[in-house]
Structure 1
């Protein structure tokens, strides 16, 4: 039997890449942003990339340039190298790894973890990021779930961490917004064809596309639907008609919607 999504992930708004605010000295996916989300009582969504030595690093982009004081692929650097690279708009802190973040959160708030596609075009995975994630999560006692846009990654997680709730991050897959993907791949993924084979417990869908019939059919069948990413109270109100919880940024979501 596939694991159920923890109830807390459905009831507490999820701070996108933690409660980040560059102007406030809290970069995306940073320790400062994680602490701020916890202090406010929010759940936390974070992203993972893989280091060159096989460690799960809490960082969104595949390249360092936008978010850190370095350039080039995350995957080309070791864990220790990445930990020493300061995040932009922060207090000099480096990139955290997943075990450190798990120790920091320690089950106090729900945690939603997205594994970023490592190989492009949502193809087969070599399992490196999935193995690192599963190893870090072994024995973690707090409310947690994992997800990925790449269904092959979700299927790998089903084998490596079968007791952890897993989901597919889904989208309208407008080809103009996914230039790295062939149109045929966009057309395929748009229909969420891999939900059953991956043993997924939930989806997290693009907020503007929530009314899509396939998404609402899953919800009508009892599948929890999260969404990404709402940026105002008005967007949240609209999204909650079609979704069970939101991932938010740029404003403070009410803790009791």
Structure 2
């Protein structure tokens, strides 16, 4: 039985990479951005990357340069080194998933994206999924996991069958992805939804008119979307999507 996406994920807008604003010393996926989202009552979307000692860190990019000013893959340093690598526009380092779970503590919905560790959306996955599942043992609160890589979602289903999981989906324009056209074409069609035991998708906001999205919606599949950047774009997205992942403005709260 595929676990359902908790209802909170259809009600509370999700702050993309938490409620970040570097002008307010709250860079993306930072502790400050997470605290701000909790205080504002927004759901939170964060990303996971893996360190050399197989720890799940809350960080978006594969290379650290854009977010820390220090170049090099996060995959080539330890969790201790990552924690001591200061984020730009902040005075603290990259947080572990364990730290973020303690900060959120079930107060708001938490949507966790596992970044592809295979490099080509293939089957060379496992370590990031394992450490994420370890950290999530005993976590109490609305939670869901997702990945662009269907094989990552399948691994999550194997490791933690009771945790809600979904696919991040896209138009997969080959110009925007370091993937083969064949891989883009495959993923664009969202063929793996049932195979991996997904219960929702989070789809690219500019591609919500895709017939496959409508097909899944007609079957009762919850449709989230990324990334909405204005109230006008949100209003248009909500014609299809059940909820939005937003940044750069404050999405309207329900009620």
Return the TM-score normalized by structure 1: 0.98
Q: Deviations over 1:121-141 (max 9, x none)?
A: 101133000000110111111
Distance 1:231 1:61 in 2: 20
Across the two proteins, how many residue pairs are aligned to each other? 255
Q: Which residue of the partner structure matches residue 191 of structure 1?
A: 189
Distance 2:124 2:141 in 1: 27
Structure 2 portions without partners, runs of 5+ = none
Q: Which residue of the partner structure matches residue 156 of structure 2?
A: 157
Q: Which residue of the partner structure matches residue 80 of structure 1?
A: 80
Q: Which residue of the partner structure matches residue 105 of structure 1?
A: 104
Residues 1:223 and 2:198 aligned together: no
User: Aligned with 1:46: secondary structure?
Assistant: strand
Q: CA deviation at 1:120?
A: 1.0
Return the TM-score normalized by structure 2: 0.99
Is the Cα–Cα contact under 8 Å of residues 69 and 85 in structure 1 kept in the other structure? no
Q: Which residue of the partner structure matches residue 61 of structure 2?
A: 61
Q: Deviations over 1:71-99 (max 9, x none)?
A: 10000000000000000011x10000001
1:203-242 aligned at under 5 Å gives the runs 203-242=201-240
User: Aligned with 1:67: secondary structure?
Assistant: helix
Distance 1:200 1:152 in 2: 11
Distance 1:22 1:78 in 2: 25
User: Aligned with 1:247: secondary structure?
Assistant: strand
Q: Deviations over 1:85-117 (max 9, x none)?
A: 000011x10000001100110000000000000
User: Aligned with 1:186: secondary structure?
Assistant: helix
Q: CA deviation at 1:256?
A: 2.0
Distance 1:13 1:123 in 2: 31
Is the Cα–Cα contact under 8 Å of residues 114 and 146 in structure 2 kept in the other structure? yes
Distance 1:126 1:228 in 2: 24
Runs of 4+ that moved beyond 3 A: none
